Structure 1
Amino acid sequence: MMGAAGQSGVLIVGGGHAGVQIAASLREAGYADRITLVNGEPHRPYDRPSLSKEALDDASAAQDFSLRGEDFFASRGIDMVQARVARLDRDSKSVVAQDGREWRYEHLVLATGGRPRRLPVPGAELAGVAELRSLDDARALRVALEAATNIVIIGGGFIGLEVAAAAAARQRHVTVIEGSDRLMKRVVTPHVSEIVADYHRSCGVELHFDDRVTEIRGRGGVVGAVLTAEGEELAADLVVLGVGMVANDELAAAAGLPTDHGILVDQQMRTRDRAIFAIGDCAAVEDESGRVHRLESIQSATDQARHVATTILGNTDPYSATPWFWSNQGALKVQIVGVGNPGDRTVVRREGNRLSVFCLRHGRLVAIESVNDPGTHMVGRRILERGEVLDEHTLADGDYDLRQVAKRAVRVGGRS
């Protein structure tokens, strides 16, 4: 039976992938109490990966990026309200919006996501300095890309390189400034960084490594150039910030919940308050060894949401899904499954413009990075999810067929 007005069995703060998925998963599993989803944006929940990909295409103006159809929430008895949350009161188990509305909960799920990291340099507030996190940001950036001539992108991660590819496709002059010695250093091995850098250079993109922006210069309040620590002054009529993301954990911190560059949760995605969960980009998950991981991945957000739905319904298993990521950069498709570390041993297999890097730790496969090799990525996901053990010698065998291992893993799994 549905609860009384203002009281929800599950209250969800955040209308991104994680928030929408847990509401859907609860209903699919037969959860009958009231579900309230508090969405802080003016739009219906939408697909965020498209913002740096399809939403920047010329044909995207008429596209609908909504995650679910217009009647999805009402047809499933999910109350979706648009409001910005101002305060969490754990004693009264309530959440208060900026406009004074209040909702009480039995279970609270924080799916507050993150926001682009600000660049603390003079000129960062000038017109023509763009960031990309929301649908409105993407729409504004698409228009700006059409009008710009010289585009400087600060940050050589996924977002920055996806924007670089979109700008280069428009025949714009594009420069990427990266503070480290290679692209995507935080998430991929040097092998992938190299092939991605070669591709962007072939598209006319200039790459500046081991450099940083010290000032964004403008005239009349509008950006005109970027000054770097190396002393270069680069013409720019559009500057795009891609320097990382900050977790939206302030609501939790103000309510006394522990945070560490994200809302700290255990292996069941619970905070210290057992009535409160955190999922998605805002969640910092502590593993058995005490290490904290925060994965900025749409797939992890949806997997965590599905897991918390089962936990609310009585499941006591720890969260254990294998994470995977992807990035489309022009003609490149970069895919990652698992999480590698800098000290991992690697086995590299390359054929033409296809590349896959197998990362091994203590002799065990822990991650696969692929460029234009979706078949290996898909098979690798199945192998990692089933815990198949592959040795370095076998992976290095040029005649080795990874698909046969996956088939064997499926057969073994079917008997167990």
Structure 2
Amino acid sequence: MSTDSTGTDRGGRERPFVIVGASLGGAKAAQALREAGYTGGIVLIGDEHERPYERPPLSKGYLIGKTDREKIYVHPPQWYAEHDVTLRLGTAVVAIDPAAHTVTLADDGRVEYAKLLLTTGSVPRRLPVPGAEQDGVLYLRRVEDSERIREAFRPDARVMVIGAGWIGLETAAAARAAGAAVTVLEAAELPLLRVLGREVAQVFADLHRDHGVDLRFGVRVTELTGEDGRVTGVRLADGTTVPADAVVVGVGIAPDTALAEAAGLEVDNGVKTDEHLRTSDPDIHAAGDVANAYHPLFGRHLRVEHWANALNQPQTAARAMLGEDAVYDRVPYFFSDQYDLGMEYIGYVEPGGYDRVVFRGDPATREFIAFWLADGRVLAGMNVNVWDVTDPIRELVRSGRTVDAKALADPDVPLTDL
């Protein structure tokens, strides 16, 4: 069976566009379809009971109590009915049948589709050690996870964070803001080492130490100890045990590809798509964390686990679902807030894929821009407590031109002149 961009099959029946994953990406796709003039049915299905919300506040403002719950949602509750979007919450999709153009729900119900968009996101990687299923072992992905973690961050608590990635460091900062004693355990030599490289990773190590965090690098967790089903500590490979009242695990996420794999779609570090976010099935698209999309600027597939992709990719996917020649080629972007440090990162660098880092400003002051270069070309830039520079940094990355490193480091030379 095939359908046209209006959602009508060869038998003349109108089938809806179905979005699996009632997330930021799913909600933005529904919005983009309506803004593009699509008047057919839209069914947005999610296994959470909350209407679509944004995840960055869960490790930032909402976690520390500065962001009201109502502000995390993508749309007000009435938006979906006003835009004729059928929102099915607390509903798990258990199978996709590409030949029949249907999705099967956990209650054995079926929903037909003309076009299907997967915005299933990702799931936290579990800690594969004994004791990891005890109470007090916490993962952050959903709003209720953020609330449980916030409850654990008390002034008298001993909080252990396993993993010094973005989630680990942001939750460590939130725990310190609540007055908890915080220890961060990381297998690598520095936090964010694969992402930022040694030169910039040191900035974040210094930041957390200056705020009283006990950072322990080059360590391996072998067991979570406990008593009466509740975690009491973390045992390391050297035999030492560090006491803990709560353990936050932030050892990465994995794309939620189970539905796609079972449906026979091409999967490789996510659901593989072309630059139009179309999967190996022409009537199925994917966007957000789950999509390993071909990026024409970089000439390779990229799976980006950040908010900006979930925000922006659905616009391209929606237009492509409607038959337009839409291409996703935005430069990757993400941001983080920790203590008094705010940063934005634009670009993409594979681990070890640069030959030098150029600083504009002094990293010791935590007010600077760092540029990752290869053969004189800017691959990425990160502004730390320096604002309104993302556009020129993005242009430097997109241009691919060589730049003078001395001028790049000189704050008196406007970035737009490079």
Return the match for 2:169 from 154, 158, 161: 161
Instruction: Determine the structure 2 residue equivalent to 1:320.
Output: 329
**C-alpha displacement of 1:254:** 0.5
Structure 1 residues 189 and 57: CA distance shift in structure 2, 3 A = same
* Distance in 1 separating the partners of 2:39 and 2:403: 44
CA distance in 2, matches of 1:143, 1:103: 39
Q: Quote the offset at 1:262 in angstroms.
A: 1.0
Looking at structure 2, the residues matched to 230 and 335 of structure 1 have their Cα atoms a distance apart, in angstroms, of: 37
Q: Which residue of 2 aligns with 1:372?
A: 385
Aligned counterpart for 1:348 among listed residues 334, 355, 359 = 359
- SS in structure 1 of the partner of residue 233 of structure 2: strand
Residue 237 of structure 1 corresponds to: 245
Q: 1:53 to 1:307 in 2, by over 3 A?
A: same
Q: Deviations over 1:357-385 (max 9, x none)?
A: 11223332221022222233353235445
SS at match of 2:134: coil
Per-residue Cα deviation, 1:145-167 (whole angstroms, up to 9, x for no partner) = 12761111000011110110011
Matches within 5 A, 1:241-390: 241-287=249-295, 291-341=300-350, 342-344=352-354, 345-351=356-362, 352-384=365-397, 390=403
Give the structure 2 partner of residue 414 of structure 1: none
How is 1:20-31 mapped onto 2 (pairs within 5 angstroms)?
20-31=27-38
Runs of 4 or more, structure 1, over 4 Å off, are: 1-4, 59-64, 287-291, 385-389
| Equivalence for 2:108 | 100
Residues 270-328 of structure 1: per-residue CA shift (max 9 Å, x gap): 11111001110011124568743210011112221111112123322432111100011
Percent sequence identity over aligned pairs:
36
Q: Distance in 1 between matches of 2:229 and 2:14?
A: 48
Given that residues 8 and 35 in structure 1 are in contact (C-alpha distance below 8 angstroms), is that contact kept between their aligned partners in structure 2?
no
One-letter amino acid of the structure 2 residue matched with residue 142 of structure 1 = R
Higher mean C-alpha displacement, 392-401 vs 64-73: 392-401
Q: TM-score, normalised by structure 2?
A: 0.91
1:375-414 superposed matches below 5 A = 375-384=388-397, 390-403=403-416
Structure 2: distance between partners of 1:157 and 1:209: 12
Instruction: Report the CA distance between 1:350 and its aligned residue.
Output: 2.0
- CA-to-aligned-CA distance 1:33-83 (integer Å, 9 cap, x gap): 111111221011111100001111245576542111111111111111121
Query: With structure 1 as the length reference, what TM-score do the two structures score?
Result: 0.91
2:154 is aligned with 1:143: no
1:51 matched to which residue of 2? Answer: 58
Cα distance in 2, alignment partners of residues 63 and 252 from structure 1: 32
In structure 1, list runs of 5 or more residues that go unmatched: 406-416
1:13 corresponds to 2:29: no
Deviation at 1:102, TM superposition (A): 1.2
Residue 315 of structure 1 aligns to a residue whose secondary structure is coil
Determine the C-alpha separation between the residues in 2 that align with 1:218 and 1:147: 21
Whether the 8 Å CA contact 1:175–1:205 is kept in 2: the answer is yes
Contact 2:358 2:370 (8 Å CA) reproduced = yes
Does structure 1 retain, via aligned residues, the 8 Å contact 2:285–2:321?
A: no
Counterpart CA distance in 2 for 1:363 and 1:290 is 19
d(CA) in 1 for partners of 2:270, 2:247: 28
Offset, 1:15? 1.0
- Provide the aligned length of Structure 1 versus Structure 2: 404
Alignment gaps of 5+ in structure 2: 1-5
